[in-house]
Amino acid sequence: EPGGVGKGGNIDINGTSLSLTDGAQLLTITRAASATQPAGRGNAGNVNVLVTGAVDIAGEKNGFPSGIRSNVGTGTVGNGGNIFIDSGDFSLSDGAGLTASTSGQGNAGNVTVGVKDTVSLAGGDIFSNVETGGVGNSGGINIRGSFLSLTDGALLSASIFGQGNAGNVIILAKDKVSFSGTNSGVLGAVYSLGIGNGANINIRARSLSLANGAQIATSTLGKGSAGNIQINADDSVFVSNGSVIQAVTFGQGNSGSITIEAGNTISFDGVGSNNLTGAYSAVGPFAIPSPEFTGKRSGGDITIAAERVSLTNGAELEASTYEQGNGGNITIDSGSFSLSDGAKLSASTSGVGNAGNVTVGALDAISLANADIFSTVQAGGVGKGGNIDINAATLSLTDGAQLLTATRGASATQPAGQGNAGNVNVLVTGAVDIAGEKNGFPSGIRSNVGTGTVGNGGNILIDSGSFSLSDGAGLSASTSGVGNAGNVTVGAKNAVDLASNAYIFSNVETGGVGNSGGINIRGSSLSLTDGAQLQSGIRGADTDKVAGRGNGGSVDINVTGAVTISGTKDELASAIFTDVETGARGNGGNINISSGSFFLTDGARLVASTSGQGLDSPKSQAGNITLNTTGKVEVAGADSAIRSTLLTGGVGNGGNITIDSGDFSLSDGAELSASTSGVGNAGNVTVGAKNAVDLANGDIFSTVQAGGVGQGGNIDINAATLSLTDGAQLLTATREASATQPAGQGMRGMSMFW
């Protein structure tokens, strides 16, 4: 009592059952000062409840909740007592509670509830806190039983309002742990005036379910780090309908890590909720702006491991930083992993610090459908984007699913981000299948540097058994800011197939300043059909942005079997392009193909061109086209063409076309063409064949076109035999005037056969 000096006694309850209702309490306390006496000094006693049957604690009366409490009052000196309950079942409801706290100088006690069967909290709470004014550690909360149920806002909380470290919250259940309802769950917090480290939360059970707005959370708003969250389930973990698991810092300290492991299934499902569902780690803005709150903080990692891991209906795993500090990593270790219907994994920085990496590993399949994996430097962010690493037996991206690393452009309230985008690495032993789009968003893998940003784009690396890209899906490494675009590398033990307007781009976009990274493809064969394209280039100006500046990367293809480029779709030709567009400055990239055989048919194209100017001089060099095959090269069909061109408006030189083959065939209106319509020379065309060169209604040109000023290139044929039939031509010429252009100016080249 006030004025007392000594130890408080224990309260020991032994019976077959215990019921506390209508505000009934078991209380040990070291009291604060009264009007006439100073605060008490000494330790509060323990409360021990040993009951073979049920313990039921419910309700309140006149504002006094039923419960068991052990408190150290304001201004006192002494430790709080422990609360220990051992029973058959335990129920806490309707505002009742267990509390072990300190508001004085001393530690709060532990709260331990052990039962043979069920622990049920329905609108009841268990607290172990260091309260405002308190100096000491909280004791923590320990729950043991077969089943644990928290509903109607029931809460287990070990938190710091004063000074000291929070005790841990430990839950051990032989069977199921279930949290349901808004704010039902477990909390470990360091509040805004608190000084100390937050509680760790450890849950071990057969299964865990969070539903309808339930939570497991650690946080710091004061001086100290948030605690870690560790969940181990022998069978499954289900998080649904607005429920969250989060570890965040808004104070002077790091956020905690989140680790969830299950023997079979981990599922996050946002169905039926307008709120967030998932797991979150964040470095947020300081809750109380203060000169004392400075320096970098770190976000915690999120680690998920189970045989089957799935996120669906908008569920998220997110590790982010909004202030000074690095974001945490996201790691998935699974047998199979699926992400669908608006779900996402996201690592980002909007402050001064690096975004974390996202790593997804699966022994079997990884499947994304209408879902995304991001690692980004957001608007306002200054730092490096994290990598995305995929390791699996197979990978499927459909319905607009994306893997994306990016440095974002400005938003309405924040400047453009600054820093390099991360890489995307896909290592798959079997098939990679990327297909389709949804609501105008194509499925694909991208690494982008946005408008107004400063930083390099990341590389895209795919190593697979086979690779398929179809129905408008794409790979893209680009820069619209100041920095280089990344490389795109696709390697496959078997076939690489692109179909139906699929694409692989590495471009310096309009407004971008930097070099494009280029495209590298390796496999047993390569097929581009129905409008599929490979493109590396420098884009021209549009209505509100200047043309790009930088050199285009090369397209390098190395396959043991056939390269097949065929057909058109929606007026798009299947093609490989390297180009410098009108107004852009820089050199075009080369196209290099090494294969067993090569087929270009039905309007498909191979084009290296420039209509721009050089970076450091007025001249822009179009790329060369080099084709080496051990077998046949066949170019056939109207509009099928291999071209190296200096276009109208371009200043520089066209590239050379060099073909070395076993046999070469050009037919049915197809052409090989090296020309200039700008100011500069056309390239040479060289065709070598160990056996025959056959032209049947097919032409090889090297020309100065109408409007062009420069020299035409040479045509060199080196083969065992040469056949020209059905109007086929070898032509070097300076063209006459057209309706819109004057006659070409310059010497035509020579044609040679040897």
Q: What is the pLDDT of residues 446-483, one digit of tens each?
A: 999 999 999 999 999 999 999 999 999 999 999 999 99
Q: Is residue 718 part of a domain?
A: yes
- The predicted structure's pLDDT at residue 706: 63
By CB atoms closer than 10 A (0-12, 13-18, 19+), residue 342 is: middle
d(C-alpha 708, C-alpha 105), whole Å: 91
DSSP 527: E
The residue among 179, 176, 219 whose CA lies nearest residue 200 is 219
Q: Is residue 543 part of a domain?
A: yes
- Average pLDDT of the chain? 90
Question: Which uninterrupted H or E stretch holds 233?
Answer: strand 229-240
- The predicted structure's pLDDT at residue 738: 56
d(C-alpha 335, C-alpha 254), whole Å: 31
Q: What is the dihedral of CA 427, 234, 373, 464, to 10 degrees?
A: 10
The residue among 744, 680, 746 whose CA lies nearest residue 707 is 744
For the chain, how many structural domains are there in total?
1
For the segment 589-600, the average pLDDT, to the nearest whole number, is 98
Answer whether residue 746 shows pLDDT above 70. no
Answer whether residue 583 shows pLDDT above 80. yes
85-96 burial string, b = 16+ CB within 10 Å, else e?
Answer: bbbbbbbbbebb
* Amino acid at position 715, single letter: I
Q: Is residue 322 part of a domain?
A: no
For the segment 289-311, the average pLDDT, to the nearest whole number, is 83
d(C-alpha 311, C-alpha 344), whole Å: 8
Confidence of residue 125 (pLDDT cuts 50, 70, 90): very high
Would you tell me how many other CB atoms lie within 10 Å of the CB of residue 150? Answer: 31
d(C-alpha 538, C-alpha 515), whole Å: 8
Q: Is residue 93 part of a domain?
A: no
- The predicted structure's pLDDT at residue 154: 98
Answer whether residue 743 shows pLDDT above 70. no
Q: Tell me the Cα Rg of the chain.
A: 35
Q: Which two tokens stand for residue 165?
A: 């470290």
Q: Is residue 57 part of a domain?
A: no
Answer whether residue 620 shows pLDDT above 80. no
Q: Do strands 60-61 and 64-65 pair parallel, antiparallel, or not at all (unpaired)? A: antiparallel
d(C-alpha 218, C-alpha 230), whole Å: 11
d(C-alpha 728, C-alpha 668), whole Å: 9
- The predicted structure's pLDDT at residue 708: 65
Answer whether residue 2 shows pLDDT above 50. no
- The predicted structure's pLDDT at residue 745: 53
Q: Which residue has the higher pLDDT, 425 or 165?
A: 425
Q: Is residue 596 part of a domain?
A: yes
d(C-alpha 282, C-alpha 319), whole Å: 6
- The predicted structure's pLDDT at residue 704: 75
Confidence of residue 747 (pLDDT cuts 50, 70, 90): very low
User: CA of 460: how far to CAs of 332, 419, 450, in Å?
Assistant: 20, 17, 17
Q: Which two tokens stand for residue 578?
A: 């390297």
- The predicted structure's pLDDT at residue 653: 86
User: Which phi and psi (to 5°) does residue 574 adopt?
Assistant: -65, 130
- The predicted structure's pLDDT at residue 291: 58
- The predicted structure's pLDDT at residue 5: 58
Q: Which residue has the higher pLDDT, 223 or 366?
A: 366
- Cα–Cα–Cα angle for 649, 651, 654, nearest 5°? 100
Per residue in 627-682, pLDDT (tens digit) is 999 999 999 999 999 999 887 777 878 899 999 999 999 999 999 999 887 787 88
d(C-alpha 612, C-alpha 549), whole Å: 10
- The structure's pTM equals 0.94
Q: Is residue 648 part of a domain?
A: yes
Q: Is residue 725 part of a domain?
A: yes
**Contact at 8 Å (CB) between 324 and 297?**
yes
For the segment 139-149, the average pLDDT, to the nearest whole number, is 97
For the segment 279-305, the average pLDDT, to the nearest whole number, is 77
DSSP lists the bridge partners of residue 636 as: 601, 667
The residue among 516, 524, 462 whose CA lies nearest residue 495 is 524
- Cα–Cα–Cα angle for 280, 284, 290, nearest 5°? 155
- The predicted structure's pLDDT at residue 529: 98
**Contact at 8 Å (CB) between 103 and 134?**
yes
3-class SS of residue 494: coil
Q: How many CA atoms, within 13 angstroms, populate the side-chain half-sphere of residue 518?
A: 15
d(C-alpha 110, C-alpha 692), whole Å: 90
Would you tell me how many other CB atoms lie within 10 Å of the CB of residue 617? Answer: 11
User: Which phi and psi (to 5°) does residue 83 adopt?
Assistant: -115, 120
- The predicted structure's pLDDT at residue 119: 98
Answer whether residue 413 shows pLDDT above 70. yes
- The predicted structure's pLDDT at residue 333: 98
**Contact at 8 Å (CB) between 702 and 653?**
no
For the segment 79-102, the average pLDDT, to the nearest whole number, is 95
Answer whether residue 730 shows pLDDT above 60. yes
Question: Which of 28-37, 74-83, 253-262 reaches the highest mean pLDDT?
Answer: 253-262
Q: In this structure, is the dihedral angle defined by the CA atoms of residues 28, 31, 34 and 40, taken in order, positive or negative?
A: positive
- The predicted structure's pLDDT at residue 750: 47
For the segment 216-231, the average pLDDT, to the nearest whole number, is 90
Share of the chain above pLDDT 90, in %: 69
Answer whether residue 739 shows pLDDT above 80. no
**Contact at 8 Å (CB) between 445 and 399?**
no
Distance, CA of 603 to chain centre = 38
Q: Which domain holds residue 566?
A: 494-754
DSSP 580: E
User: Which phi and psi (to 5°) does residue 689 adopt?
Assistant: -145, 135
Confidence of residue 112 (pLDDT cuts 50, 70, 90): very high
Distance, CA of 408 to chain centre = 14
Q: Which two tokens stand for residue 694?
A: 């056959």
